[in-house]
Structure 1
């Protein structure tokens, strides 16, 4: 599911050799508000899935753009982020991009809840890129591959394209705060392809073990982390974890950026697998991965999830003041 601040996803291609975490079978805990919210969301998803694809995508895109985004503050957040990196952009352009971002988020959410449909569509989708020969060679040799991407277009579309072509793809997901919604959200993650690991130390270790044994995975790296290294993203410092590069270095995995690019019809995709990033200093590897994502965003800003709190400039400034005060000493 593609939604704001929802997960740092991971994906694997190749035959899985580690055990995947399974969706929790115990009764979820939560209040009546969570239960009610889950029932409403389930009803919306079921109603949307009953519609033909074109109408379904239009409906969900409209609902998130016109209802959810204004009420939840996603439109404002997107516009604020755009102003943060492109202060000279006219407000009308920021509003247009923000609305297109919300539309894409709605479409992506419902697409990823229709696993059979997404697999069927991506089976005939365009799969291109300079990374394909190296990927095929690594797969033939049993060498692991770690794909990296951002919240751009539909980031699950390339995963589905590989699964539809016989690659086993797993993932690492961030559980939802609502335990009732998380139950079917996690099950949906498993439905596309196992192994799937829940984000956290245990899940990360499971993913690492899986890749070390010859598996493949995907990490989305474009989320804010206070533990990250400041790397300029669209001209502004954005704390970025080096964990993806660290895993690639520890396991010898091929390090391949990919993107699921939504096409002009609003429902088809092109899956692009770029040339592998050479192993080296992990910060420089992530700097290059960031540059690859930046290039895609500049090409079509409306496809990136500006909804996310990627920079948090106020929090960064506060942390810098604290560090400066600590360095001054008594």
Structure 2
């Protein structure tokens, strides 16, 4: 709290209460254990979520992705998505404690051999994933495996919450790095990769200044950074995702590196790579629709508006 001393007294008090509330919630979740924390998070999200505007966004997104799906089934998927998001939040306090185990709270891996196969000239591959299952587990698992992976994050609007959240990620990351979105983070990523590191990027959120790439048959604005970094540093690209097997139980699924045919034309190659990436994410969502985060606007607003009429 020393950095807050210069704030007005009223703001210092609010900052103090925010930090106390956050630490109290984290402490409570840690006290009741990972499985119970997952359950509590699911129940709270399941109760609050339906009253939020994000539920309507989720229904609109589902109408785009699965136009033949009945409305009743869409509502079930949205309920499942709230359940999963609540579990992610409840489990967040326990990130530092999850280990590779054969059962119970913790994680396992399928396809680990694909990571080893994708190293090129002694350099690790780049990884991409999506907001599927518990995506917060990606960096802790990478750290446990000894992979020099860094992640990109969007800073929270509240600086106190931001500092506390990043603190939990840092202590769980086993030496992994986090880079903020924006020009400063981009420079840090370039330096990190130039020194032999790599990154894992979540690629399924809308980027207004990205490129138009098909996703469930509609163009979705997609960040091309993954393709740009892969081409610049001559790295393979490995798809990974952390699926939920149960309360506080996860499986990291690694798939073979993308097969990429380059033309030498930068824009065309970026688009070709990102088409492959979006096709993978589309398949993941179709396989486990209730584990994807449906609540952000993946397509342009006029697309979602059209589906509601």
TM class, shorter-length:
0.7 to 0.9
- SS of the residue corresponding to residue 94 of structure 1 reads helix
- SS of the residue corresponding to residue 144 of structure 1 reads coil
Is 2:157 the counterpart of 1:177? Answer: yes
- SS of the residue corresponding to residue 50 of structure 1 reads helix
Q: Specify which of 93, 102, 108 is matched with residue 88 of structure 2.
A: 108
Task: Report if the CA contact (8 A) 1:278-1:285 is conserved.
Answer: no
Is 2:262 the counterpart of 1:313? Answer: no
Check 1:35–1:288 CA distance in 2 against 1; reply closer, same or farther (3 A cut). Answer: farther
Aligned to 1:93: 73
Check 1:137–1:237 CA distance in 2 against 1; reply closer, same or farther (3 A cut). Answer: closer
Question: Following the alignment from structure 2 to structure 1, what is the Cα–Cα distance between the partners of residues 89 and 193?
Answer: 27
- SS of the residue corresponding to residue 107 of structure 1 reads helix
TM-score computed with the length of structure 2 as normaliser? 0.84
Number of matched residues? 291
Aligned to 1:149: 129
* Post-superposition CA distance 1:225-271 (Å, at most 9, x none): 111111121122211111111011001122111010111x3331111
Question: Following the alignment from structure 1 to structure 2, what is the Cα–Cα distance between the partners of residues 199 and 26?
Answer: 23
Residue correspondence of structure 1 range 57-206 to structure 2 within 5 A: 57-67=38-48, 69-119=49-99, 125-129=107-111, 132-133=112-113, 135-137=115-117, 139=119, 141-191=121-171, 192=173, 193-206=175-188
**Unaligned runs of at least 5 residues, structure 1:** 1-23, 318-330
Aligned to 2:238: 256
User: 27-36 vs 197-206, which deviates more?
Assistant: 27-36
TM-score computed with the length of structure 1 as normaliser? 0.79
Q: Specify which of 22, 25, 43 is matched with residue 44 of structure 1.
A: 25
Q: CA deviation at 1:148?
A: 0.6
Check 1:124–1:167 CA distance in 2 against 1; reply closer, same or farther (3 A cut). Answer: farther
Question: Following the alignment from structure 2 to structure 1, what is the Cα–Cα distance between the partners of residues 235 and 244?
Answer: 28
Question: What is the CA RMSD across the aligned residues, in angstroms?
Answer: 2.9
Q: RCO (CA 8 Å, sep 6+): is it higher in 1 or 2?
A: 1
Task: Report if the CA contact (8 A) 1:172-1:204 is conserved.
Answer: no
Residue correspondence of structure 1 range 257-296 to structure 2 within 5 A: 257-263=239-245, 265-279=246-260, 280=262, 281-296=269-284
